[in-house]
Amino acid sequence: MYLTAMSSAENPTEKTLAELRVRTPESVTSLFAELREKANKEQRRIEKAEQFEQFRVKWVGRKSGILTQVTDNWLKPADAGLKRIVGQALNEFRNHLQSLVEQARQDLDARATQVADTRERVDLSLPGVIRPIGSHHLIRQVFQEIEDIFFSIGFSVVEGPEIETPYYNFEALNIPEFHPVRDDMDTFYIDLPKGAPVPLLLRTHTSPMQIRTMEKQKPPVRVIVPGKVYRRDNPDATHSFMFHQVEGLAVDTDITFCDFTGTIEYFVKQFFGPSVKTRFRPSYFPFTEPSVEFDASCSFCGGTGTAAAGGTCSKCKGAAWIELFGAGMVDPAVYGFVNYDAKKVSGFAFGIGIDRLAMLKYGIDDIQVFFQNDVRFLRQFP
Ligand code: PHE
182-217, pLDDT tens digit by residue?
A: 877 778 899 999 988 999 999 999 999 999 999 999
Asked if residue 207 has its Cβ within 6 Å of ligand 1, the reply is: yes
CA of 295 to the centre of ligand 1 (A): 14
The predicted pLDDT at position 120 comes to 86
**7 inside domain:** yes
DSSP annotation of 206: S
pLDDT, tens digit, for every residue of 113-129? 988 888 888 878 888 88
In the predicted model, is pLDDT for residue 5 greater than 60?
A: no
Q: Are residues 306 and 370 in the same domain?
A: yes
**128 inside domain:** no
Q: Pick from 57, 92, 120: which residue ends a domain?
A: 120
State which ligand 1 atom lies nearest to the alpha carbon of 291.
Answer: 10
Q: Are residues 213 and 89 in the same domain?
A: no
CA of 292 to the centre of ligand 1 (A): 10
Q: What is the mean pLDDT of residues 312-316?
A: 81
Q: Is 152 exposed, middle or buried (0-12, 13-18, 19+ CB in 10 A)?
A: exposed
Q: Which residues contact 232 (CB under 8 A, 6 or more apart)?
A: 186, 187, 188, 241
Q: What is the mean pLDDT of residues 296-318?
A: 83
Q: Which of 168, 181, 207 maximizes ligand 1 atoms within 8 Å of its Cβ, making it the mutation to test the pocket?
A: 207
Q: Are residues 166 and 301 in the same domain?
A: yes
CA of 293 to the centre of ligand 1 (A): 9
In the predicted model, is pLDDT for residue 7 greater than 50?
A: no
Q: Are residues 101 and 157 in the same domain?
A: no
Q: What is the mean pLDDT of residues 2-31?
A: 75
Q: Are residues 216 and 90 in the same domain?
A: no
Q: Which residues contact 50 (CB under 8 A, 6 or more apart)?
A: none
Q: Are residues 103 and 215 in the same domain?
A: no
Q: Are residues 116 and 146 in the same domain?
A: no
Question: Higher pLDDT residue, 280 or 235?
Answer: 280
The predicted pLDDT at position 8 comes to 44
Q: Are residues 104 and 237 in the same domain?
A: no
In the predicted model, is pLDDT for residue 1 greater than 70?
A: no
Q: Alpha-carbon distance 84 to 275, whole Å?
A: 111
282: confidence class by pLDDT, cuts 50, 70, 90: very high
pLDDT, tens digit, for every residue of 66-114? 999 999 999 999 888 888 999 999 999 999 999 999 999 999 999 889 8
In the predicted model, is pLDDT for residue 4 greater than 50?
A: no
The predicted pLDDT at position 226 comes to 97
CA of 351 to the centre of ligand 1 (A): 4
Q: Are residues 116 and 157 in the same domain?
A: no
pLDDT, tens digit, for every residue of 228-237? 999 988 888 8
Supply the Cα-derived Rg of the chain in whole angstroms. Answer: 45
Q: Are residues 92 and 145 in the same domain?
A: no
Q: Are residues 69 and 142 in the same domain?
A: no
The predicted pLDDT at position 6 comes to 39
Asked if residue 328 has its Cβ within 6 Å of ligand 1, the reply is: yes
Q: What is the mean pLDDT of residues 131-152?
A: 93
Q: Are residues 78 and 207 in the same domain?
A: no
CA of 327 to the centre of ligand 1 (A): 6
Residue minimizing CA distance to atom 7 of ligand 1: 351
Which residue from 367, 378, 373 is spatially nearest to 240, judged by alpha carbons?
Answer: 367
Here the CATH number for the domain that contains residue 365 is 3.30.930.10
Residue 287 contacts residue 174 (beta carbons within 8 Å): yes
- Kindly list the distances between the CA atom of residue 224 and the CA atoms of 8, 137, 217, in Å, as whole numbers in the listed order: 94, 20, 14
> What percent of the chain is modeled with pLDDT above 70?
97
CA of 180 to the centre of ligand 1 (A): 15
Question: Higher pLDDT residue, 274 or 144?
Answer: 144
The predicted pLDDT at position 330 comes to 97
Q: How many domains does the chain have?
A: 2
The predicted pLDDT at position 10 comes to 64
State which ligand 1 atom lies nearest to the alpha carbon of 173.
Answer: 1
Asked if residue 347 has its Cβ within 6 Å of ligand 1, the reply is: no
How many residues are there in the chain?
382
Average pLDDT, the chain: 90
Q: What is the mean pLDDT of residues 349-374?
A: 91
**127 inside domain:** no
**170 inside domain:** yes
The model carries a pTM of 0.66
**190 inside domain:** yes
Q: Pick from 64, 87, 120: which residue ends a domain?
A: 120
**126 inside domain:** no
**130 inside domain:** no
Q: Pick from 67, 92, 120: which residue ends a domain?
A: 120
Asked if residue 222 has its Cβ within 6 Å of ligand 1, the reply is: no
Q: Which of 239, 285, 324, 354 maximizes ligand 1 atoms within 8 Å of its Cβ, making it the mutation to test the pocket?
A: 285
The predicted pLDDT at position 2 comes to 39
Asked if residue 208 has its Cβ within 6 Å of ligand 1, the reply is: no
CA of 183 to the centre of ligand 1 (A): 15
The predicted pLDDT at position 157 comes to 97
Q: Could you list the residue range(s) of the whole structural domain that residue 334 is in?
A: 138-378
CA 34 to chain centre: 67
Asked if residue 260 has its Cβ within 6 Å of ligand 1, the reply is: no
**132 inside domain:** no
